[in-house]
């Protein structure tokens, strides 16, 4: 059985990916220092897969500690590297901790991949690498504009570090550019545990609907879009997770034609903020307390994926639609309300 190291496996996408990997026959170990996550999420993972996942609570910025994971697991055949800070706003306020954390951990992991001859590497990237693109529908070839935030810059640099490194060693890599991941696992055992006041749309919607937030704002309704609000490509977290399994299998089966390939992960459909709210209200039966507010600085008007490459090369096909995304996100929020322990975990992270 192929052993895969998932870094950041206690995070939102990492935890869903562990489930998908195990369900598809991989043996998984996790490395997460829980600086922005909580190990309790692995209890939910274990409920779904009926199996314990070992977590190494290690700061990947520490090379010796990272090295020790590989020394203990010389049979690691693949790495999926999620571990990173991901708050756009925080990265603008504290850019150095973003560069320090996101880049040092990546470099250490790549050094170990090289040292221990790990053949397969998947890097968690983002549509943020396109910056503010000239085209609304972006392909993997769409020219990258300057990053809109230090967080985005760490993803651009991260991609560059991976693609340059694999040219001179035996590692093969895939860079996965996520659009807007939302929703929760349909079993309702795992989902997103946002820390602090949520900056992203769907947690803002569900937390307002449940009453954790008094109300939410729609940032800008005067854009040149069908209803004036911004357009994004929302993609279910389980579809994103499955793409990682497919990417690993693609590398294992030597289907890649270059040492580093890149794929967009979005549904290819764009929805406005107001359409998302509307879908949520219909699915949940809750009237959302929102008001229209000014534009949020740094927001791109509209961006969605051309996902043909992931469909044809990786054989990936998104399974969940916008209603499923809202439904699973809402059920997870209701569960957080009922599950005292999980709520405590989330509250402990609130600042
Ligand atoms: C979506 C839309 C907001 C909150 C971010 C990162 C990006 C990627 C995905 C990882 C926008 C609007 C939001 C609210 C609102 N992440 N909105 N009221 O900005 O598209 O992308 O997450 O790499 O890098 O930048 O996602 O969910 O913040 O916003 O009206 O309270 O919802 O203006 O139009 P975004 P988002």
> Whole-angstrom Cα distance, residue 209 to residue 186?
20
Active-site hit among 56, 85, 98, 151: 151
pLDDT band at 339 (very low <50, low <70, confident <90, very high): confident
pTM of the model: 0.97
Both tokens assigned to 8: 């950041």
**Nearest residue by C-alpha to atom 13 in ligand 1:** 201
Of all residues in the chain, what percent carry a pLDDT higher than 90? 93
Write down the pLDDT at residue 82.
98
Is the shortest distance between the CB of 204 and ligand 1 below 6 Å? yes
Query: What's CA 23's distance to the chain center, in Å?
Result: 19
Is the shortest distance between the CB of 218 and ligand 1 below 6 Å? yes
Is the shortest distance between the CB of 52 and ligand 1 below 6 Å? no
Could you tell me if residue 156 is inside a domain? yes
CA of 216 to the centre of ligand 1 (A): 13
231-232/271-272 β-pairing: antiparallel
- Structurally, the chain folds into a number of domains equal to 1
Domain span at residue 58 reads 3-183+234-266
Could you tell me if residue 240 is inside a domain? yes
pLDDT(87) > 80:
yes
3-state secondary structure (DSSP) of residue 269: coil
Could you tell me if residue 93 is inside a domain? yes
Helices and strands per DSSP (H, E), number in the chain = 12, 15
CA of 120 to the centre of ligand 1 (A): 31
Q: What is the largest CA-CA distance in the chain?
A: 56
Q: How many residues does the chain have?
A: 351
Q: Are 22 and 244 in contact (CB under 8 A)?
A: no
pLDDT(323) > 90:
yes
Supply the Cα-derived Rg of the chain in whole angstroms: 19
Give long-range contacts, CB 8 A cutoff, 24+ apart: 62-67: 62/108, 63/108, 63/111, 66/31, 66/105, 66/108, 66/109, 66/112, 67/112, 67/115
pLDDT band at 342 (very low <50, low <70, confident <90, very high): low
Q: 37-75, pLDDT tens digit by residue?
A: 999 999 999 999 999 999 999 999 999 999 999 999 999
Could you tell me if residue 309 is inside a domain? no
Beta-carbon contacts of 25 under 8 Å, excluding residues fewer than 6 positions away, are 1, 2
Q: What is the CATH classification number for the domain harbouring 155?
A: 3.40.50.720
Is the shortest distance between the CB of 296 and ligand 1 below 6 Å? yes
Could you tell me if residue 323 is inside a domain? no
Is the shortest distance between the CB of 221 and ligand 1 below 6 Å? no
Torsional sign, CA 59, 246, 181, 175: positive
* Catalytic residue status for 67: no
> Whole-angstrom Cα distance, residue 193 to residue 211?
16
């Amino acid at each position: 059985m192929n052993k895969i190291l998932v870094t950041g496996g206690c995070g939102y996408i990492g935890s869903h990916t562990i489930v998908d990997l195990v369900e598809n026959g991989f043996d998984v170990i996790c490395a997460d220092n829980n600086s922005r996550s909580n190990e309790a999420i692995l209890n939910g993972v274990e409920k779904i897969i009926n199996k314990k996942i070992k977590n190494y609570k290690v700061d990947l910025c520490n090379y010796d500690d990272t090295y020790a994971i590989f020394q203990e697991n010389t049979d690691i055949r693949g790495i999926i590297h999620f571990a990173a800070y991901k708050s756009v706003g925080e990265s603008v306020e504290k850019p150095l901790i973003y560069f320090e954390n996101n880049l040092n951990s990546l470099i250490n992991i790549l050094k170990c991949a090289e040292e221990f001859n790990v053949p397969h590497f998947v890097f968690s990237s983002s549509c943020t690498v396109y910056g503010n693109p000239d085209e609304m529908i972006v392909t993997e070839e769409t020219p990258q504009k300057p990053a809109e935030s230090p967080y985005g810059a760490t993803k651009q640099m991260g991609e560059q570090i991976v693609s340059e490194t694999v040219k001179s060693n035996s590692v093969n890599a895939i860079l996965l550019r996520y659009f807007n991941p939302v929703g929760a696992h349909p079993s309702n055992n795992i989902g997103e545990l946002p820390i602090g006041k949520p900056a992203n749309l769907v947690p803002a919607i569900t937390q307002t609907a449940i009453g954790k937030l008094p109300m939410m704002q729609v940032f800008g309704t005067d854009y040149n879009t069908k209803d004036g609000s911004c357009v994004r490509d929302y993609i279910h977290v389980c579809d994103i997770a499955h793409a990682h399994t497919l990417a690993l299998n693609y590398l294992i089966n030597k289907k890649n034609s270059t040492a580093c390939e890149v794929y967009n992960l979005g549904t290819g459909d764009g929805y406005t903020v107001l359409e998302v709210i509307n879908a949520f209200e219909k699915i949940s039966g809750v009237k959302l307390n929102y008001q229209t507010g000014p534009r949020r600085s740094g927001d791109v008007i509209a961006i969605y994926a051309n996902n043909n490459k992931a469909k044809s090369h990786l054989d990936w096909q998104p399974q969940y639609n916008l209603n499923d995304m809202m439904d699973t996100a809402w059920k997870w929020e209701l569960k957080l309300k009922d599950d005292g322990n999980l709520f405590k975990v989330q509250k402990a992270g609130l600042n």
